[in-house]
Amino acid sequence: MILKFLRLLKILRVLVKYGLDEIAISGFDKPGINRFLDTAFFWRDISTPRAIRLRLALEELGPIFVKLGQVLSTRSDLMPPDIVAELSKLQDRVPPFDSELAIAQIERSLGAHPDQLFARFERVPVASASIAQVHFAALPDGTQVAVKVLRPGMKKLIDEDVALMNLAADFINRLWKDAHRLKMKEVVYEFDKYLHDELDLMREAANAAQLRRNFADSNLLLVPEMYWDYCSPSVITMERMHGIPVSHIDRLVEAGVDLKKLGSDGVEIFFTQVFRDGFFHADMHPGNILVSIDPATFGRYIALDFGIVGTLNDYDKDYLSQNFLAFFRRDYKRVAEAHIESGWAPKNTRVDELESAVRACCEPIFDRPLKDISFGQILLRLFQTSRRFNVEVQPQLVLLQKTLLNIEGMGRVLDPDLDLWKTAKPHLERWVSEQVGWRGLVERLKAEAPRYSHILPQLPRLTHQALIAMGERDPSTNELLRQLAEEQRRTNRLLSFFVFFVGAFVAGAVGFQAYLRWRGVM
């Protein structure tokens, strides 16, 4: 309890030091309170922009709060643009923990000492973050691997800091009249879930396996293989990948990598994940991307760190493709209709009003050359406009927008003339063609055929059982059943008469032809 109180005091001290209470007091109606707080904290310098002060405060509070800032930087639908841009600079760098603790964690999780499990295990970690650190090793057969080990004591620390964040969210909601717009409690809940998901490294391993399977036949992306015999919720072992970080442009040029192709390939990889698979790597910043210079896989991207992935269902993909295509055709009415049809905008929303708002927001974008238009900025503007019409932006789309901005930024560093629309358009049109028309119908029928082949033969029996059940609940249904039975008997009699008549007619015609032939022969 004393430690929690001391931790809370430290948080309050840091918040006051960087003037973050300024955001809260801006919501006070009484100017006297504002003057009192300004006088009480006369000693501090808050001339630095608020976004920078917020980033510095989170860095001083430690790795859990740095993670919170990274999560907030993905919520461009909630946070002001200046704060989103600054929080995107947060780097998850913390000192490594003692290697003996890592060895103990491996022994506890995998049931043996690393020296027994591996032919070689490097004590000095090669990378360290707030949740885990990585050691290089070699399997008994000589395969080079990377071993990721969870930082000890993280669950307790996360639970304590998240509890304090919930208290802070309640406090801010009481003090600041506009705090409800930021949905602080929802953000803390999302952050809590995000961190506890990261504590299970098997989830990350499964994400990597899925992405590797999706790109098994691709010549664009490499994903490390997971060695499941050496994996647990707190330790995972994967193939060691060799390459040049994508941000090291000089080294890539020296190695002979085609930067223009690399930029285009990155955009193609992203849109393939989104529109073909509905499963995308959502943490594709330059620190998690290498470029292979091995002759067999030269120039391919290498993806690392799969703790954050996004998933999209068919409705999400349809929403994105329809909106992107409509945007670049400047068909703002279709954009408005797509919002309402998807159910994200209330059904009583006037199409013309939403169309007008989207036009006013996005038309200035098209004053630029097409190659300079940002998909991420389009989505961001769309989310901001949608807020006026009570549109609930889906979390997976916010995550996608953040990832798309990373991809665009990386692509344009590699190739300033990269035309994102030219690269993305074939993927959008292919998705639309697969969903609309005969091709889409055939594909969906093929996908549903196994289910229907099982259900269809049962339909008569199930219908009969349902009608009997209805009759037991409602006596009037018995009369309906009697009428149906009578109608069925009447139909059977008509069918019998028709079959008899047609059969007699055919038999008579055949007999008459036979008689004529017999007379002719005679």
**Cβ atoms of 226 and 213 closer than 8 Å:** no
CA distances from 414 to 62, 221, 272, 378, 411 (A): 33, 17, 20, 21, 5
Specify the pLDDT at position 140: 95
- Element of type H or E holding 52: helix 50-61
Active site residue: 161, 265, 283, 305, which one? Answer: 283
Specify the pLDDT at position 522: 43
> What is the token pair recorded at 257?
């990598």
| pLDDT tens digit at each of 522 positions of the chain | 566 666 777 777 777 777 766 655 554 555 555 566 566 665 666 677 878 888 888 878 777 777 777 777 766 656 677 777 787 777 666 788 899 999 999 999 999 999 999 999 999 999 888 788 999 999 999 999 999 999 888 888 888 778 877 777 777 667 665 555 556 677 677 777 777 788 889 999 999 999 999 999 899 999 999 999 999 999 999 999 999 999 899 999 999 999 999 988 988 898 889 888 889 998 777 778 999 999 999 999 999 989 888 888 877 777 777 777 787 778 888 888 877 776 666 777 788 888 888 888 777 766 666 667 676 667 777 766 666 776 666 666 777 777 777 787 788 888 888 777 777 777 777 766 766 556 656 666 666 666 666 666 766 766 766 666 665 655 555 666 666 666 666 666 666 665 566 566 656 665 666 666 665 544
**Cβ atoms of 161 and 191 closer than 8 Å:** no
- Sign of the torsion formed by the C-alpha atoms of 360, 361, 364 and 369: negative
Specify the pLDDT at position 276: 85
Specify the pLDDT at position 181: 55
**Number of alpha helices (DSSP H) and beta strands (DSSP E) in the chain:** 22, 11
Q: Which of 373, 368, 361, 311 is nearest to 336 (CA)?
A: 361
- Element of type H or E holding 281: strand 279-281
95: left (phi over 0), alpha (psi -120 to 50) or beta: beta
pTM exceeding the 0.75 threshold for the entire prediction: no
Specify the pLDDT at position 118: 96
Identify the structural domains of the chain with CATH numbers, from first to last: 1-92 (no CATH), 99-152+200-310 (1.10.510.10), 312-441 (no CATH), 457-498 (no CATH)
Helix axes 184-198 and 63-72, enclosed angle (nearest 10): 120
- Element of type H or E holding 58: helix 50-61
Is residue 283 part of the annotated active site? The answer reads yes
* Sequential DSSP letters for 293-339: -SGGGTT-EEE---S-EEE--HHHHHHHHHHHHHHHTT-HHHHHHHH
Using DSSP bridges, classify how beta strands 301-303 and 221-222 pair: parallel, antiparallel or unpaired: parallel
Give the end-to-end CA distance of the chain in Å, rounded to a whole number: 120
Contacts of 170 (CB under 8 A, 6+ apart): 185
Specify the pLDDT at position 521: 46
φ and ψ of 28, to 5 deg: -75, 140
Q: Which of 82, 76, 79, 27 is nearest to 49 (CA)?
A: 82
Using DSSP bridges, classify how beta strands 127-128 and 132-138 pair: parallel, antiparallel or unpaired: antiparallel
Specify the pLDDT at position 9: 76
Residue 280: other Cβ atoms inside 10 A:
26
Specify the pLDDT at position 466: 67
